[in-house]
Amino acid sequence: MSEENKKKQIKKLVTERLEVLPSNKSISIGSEGSFSKEDLIESVERGDEIGKKITNIQLKYLRSLKEGIFYD
Amino acid sequence: MTKLLLITRPYYDITTSYLYHWAGEIIDSIKKKDIQILDLKKGRANKKEFNSITKKKQPSFVFLNGHGSYDRVTGQDGQVIIKSGENDELLHDKIVYALSCKSAKKLGKTSIKEGAQSYIGYTDDFVFCLDQDFVQRPLKDETAKLFLKPSNQLVNSIIKGHPVRKACERAKDLFKKNAQKIFVEKSSGESYLIPYLLWDMEHLVCEGDDDAVF
């Protein structure tokens, strides 16, 4: 898979995961502020700092699941 | 002998409002104990007051709330309250817990070099989820509670006299327990919270003497 395709796949995966965030919930990310589902998805699509942060958080979680974080 | 606990808690946006109220819960819970609280809240959460009260009273435990970055923690309106290389020597001999983003990465290390006993904080952003319906009543927000309760447990554990290592472990355990509970109860529909709980757990660190006690 090309690097470009890989990035697209990751964006798709992260935005799909963000879709489950209920509309009345926000995520507070430090001094950047609080973000709704729509804000976060937009950030991931744009690839800005918040988008990168959320992507990092989501990918870390998926890796930790693979490593069996809840089964140790 | 009365022990001194210094708390800084600015209040000017949603995040600081949550930290303000949750730190307030600690203040309420320890009123009866043999501990004097120095509460730098709202407008008093500034560098001038912090420098003055730290020098004058020499609290042995400093609990910082507010926005931060690698080398700083801020007070009211995002003004620097403590910064690496500027006034971190004031943390000499103290146990410090910063509920703030990233500060353990640099400020934590420089304050240990300057003689702080131990510095507990986060090496990356402290992230939490909140319920918009409870923004005016942060203590009633069950979603935010999953993130802020472990932090309060850490502080309470130190107040009870446990070594900071133990306090840190307990907070990490509670972050994980909260995540695990949601993971097991798939029907709760809250699985979206898990990545953020594990993120905070992973980035919570203790620098310096982890046997230090208050």
pLDDT tens for residues B115-140? 999 999 999 999 999 999 999 999 99
> How far is Cα B103 from Cα B51, in angstroms, rounded to an integer?
18
In this prediction, residues B182-202 reach a mean pLDDT of 92
Set out the domains of chain B in order of their start, with CATH numbers: 3-208 (3.40.50.1460)
d(CA B68, CA B126) in angstroms, rounded, equals 10
Nearest Cα neighbor of B111 from B200, B9, B209, B45 is B209
Q: At what angle do helices B142-159 and B14-29 cross, to 10 degrees?
A: 40
CB–CB of B7/B50 below 8 Å?
no
Token pair for B27: 């203040």
Asked whether the beta carbons of residue A31 and residue B68 sit closer than 8 angstroms, the reply is yes
pLDDT value at residue B32 = 66
- Report pLDDT for B1: 77
C-alpha distances (whole Å) from A68 to each of A14, A64, A72, B143, B147 are 20, 6, 7, 25, 22
Residue B67 has pLDDT above 70, yes or no: yes
Nearest neighbour of B78 by CB, restricted to A26, A31, A53: A31
Report the pLDDT value the prediction gives residue A44, as an integer from 0 to 100. Answer: 97
d(CA B78, CA B63): 17
Pair of tokens at residue B121: 């904080």
- Interchain pair A30, B101: CB under 8 A: yes
From CA A15, how far away is CA B152, in angstroms rounded?
32
The first and second tokens of residue B185, run together, are 């109860």
Which residues from B are below 8 Å from A22, CB to CB? 189, 192
- Rounded CA-CA distance A28/B66 in Å is 12
Measured CB to CB, residues of chain A less than 8 Å from chain B are 17-18, 20-22, 24-34, 53, 57-58, 60-61, 64, 69-70
pLDDT at B189: 86
Rounded mean pLDDT, B133-153 = 98
| Chain segment A12-65, per-residue pLDDT in tens | 999 999 999 999 999 999 888 999 999 999 999 999 999 999 999 999 999 999
Kindly tell me if the per-residue pLDDT of B192 is higher than 80.
yes
Give the per-residue pLDDT at B34: 87
pLDDT of residue A31: 84
- Position B108 confidence tier, pLDDT thresholds 50, 70, 90: very high
Give the ipTM of the model, two decimals please.
0.96
Query: Taking Cα atoms as reference points, which of B175, B179, B183 lies closest to residue B201?
Result: B175
Distance CA A12, CA A72 (A): 30
Mean pLDDT computed over every residue of chain B: 96
- Over residues B21-28, mean pLDDT: 96
**How confident is the model at residue B163, as a pLDDT?**
98
Whether pLDDT at A1 is above 80:
no
User: Higher-confidence residue: B43 or A30?
Assistant: B43
Longest Cα–Cα distance of chain A, Å, equals 37
Residue B187 has pLDDT above 80, yes or no: no
- Is residue B150 within 8 Å of A49, Cβ to Cβ? no
Residue B100 has a pLDDT of 97
Q: Is B17 on the interface with A (CB under 8 A)?
A: no
Span B74-95, mean pLDDT?
Answer: 98
Average pLDDT over residues B4-20: 97
